[in-house]
Amino acid sequence: QKEVEQNSGPLSVPEGAIASLNCTYSDRVSQSFFWYRQYSGKSPELIMSIYSNGDKEDGRFTAQLNKASQYVSLLIRDSQPSDSATYLCAVNLDGGYQKVTFGTGTKLQVIP
Amino acid sequence: SQTIHQWPATLVQPVGSPLSLECTVEGTSNPNLYWYRQAAGRGLQLLFYSVGIGQISSEVPQNLSASRPQDRQFILSSKKLLLSDSGFYLCAWSEGGQNIQYFGAGTRLSVL
């Protein structure tokens, strides 16, 4: 069964620390990987996309992709209380351009 | 720039009543359009997607249906709502040939 898996958490980190969120996926043909942030009661918003192995940095966020091991991770440096949200991983499991599959999300709590 | 509109924001409906949720996108042509449902504390479940007018792909068999009468309009319908239809309904769009999806604000549906 094609899946995207995330630890549901909650992951608690102190303010200023690095938060590390992980996601594994089932299909080796996957080509596109995304991280979304969803605040409680709100819709998901895109924060990072990554398509190639390695790291991609955008401000305090770094996405890491390892296709051989089939995982993608998101690092949040200098975590702030405003980063407290659920982080959703999304992958195009079939390698196509029509749809992606979302993980169930990891809830992050940044403690002041 | 592109914007996505989804309404209403909140809806309370009795069991057995009909449903119509509408989503429109501005600032782009021939987008891919999606309907998701998110049950409380759960991940995003893809219900329907469309790559063009009149083209609807159903991901999960249930008492819901979708239609795309115009290029940038996507409608989710039901003839008779069930209690299990309660949830957070999200419309999303992407450019054709790309996987990045952008979400509307969502409709919180309570079936009582």
The mean per-residue pLDDT over the stretch A39-61 comes to 96
Task: From B52, B60, B76, select the one nearest A98 (Cα to Cα).
Answer: B52
Chain A residues touching residue B32 (CB < 8 angstroms) = 97-98
In the prediction, which pLDDT does A97 show? 78
| Residue B84 distance to chain A (closest CA, Å) | 19
List residues of chain B with CB under 8 Å from any CB of chain A: 32, 34, 36, 42-44, 46, 49, 51, 57, 59, 90, 96-106, 108
Most A CBs within 10 A among B3, B30, B44, hence the mutation to make, goes to: B44
Q: Is the pLDDT of residue A19 over 90?
A: yes
The mean per-residue pLDDT over the stretch B98-103 comes to 93
Nearest to A43 among B46, B49, B90 (CB): B90
Nearest to B104 among A41, A43, A99 (CB): A43
Average pLDDT of chain B, as a whole number: 94
- The single-letter code of the amino acid at B65 is S
Residue for token pair 């509307």: B104
- CA–CA separation, B37 and A42 (whole Å): 13
Cα torsion angle, B84, A92, B9, B29, sign = negative
Q: Which of B6-15, B22-31, B40-49 has the lowest mean pLDDT?
A: B40-49
Chain A residues touching residue B44 (CB < 8 angstroms) = 44, 88, 102
Nearest to B103 among A32, A41, A43 (CB): A43
Average pLDDT of chain A, as a whole number: 94
In the prediction, which pLDDT does B20 show? 96
Residue for token pair 């819901």: B64
Chain A residues touching residue B109 (CB < 8 angstroms) = none
Band (A91; pLDDT cuts 50, 70, 90): very high
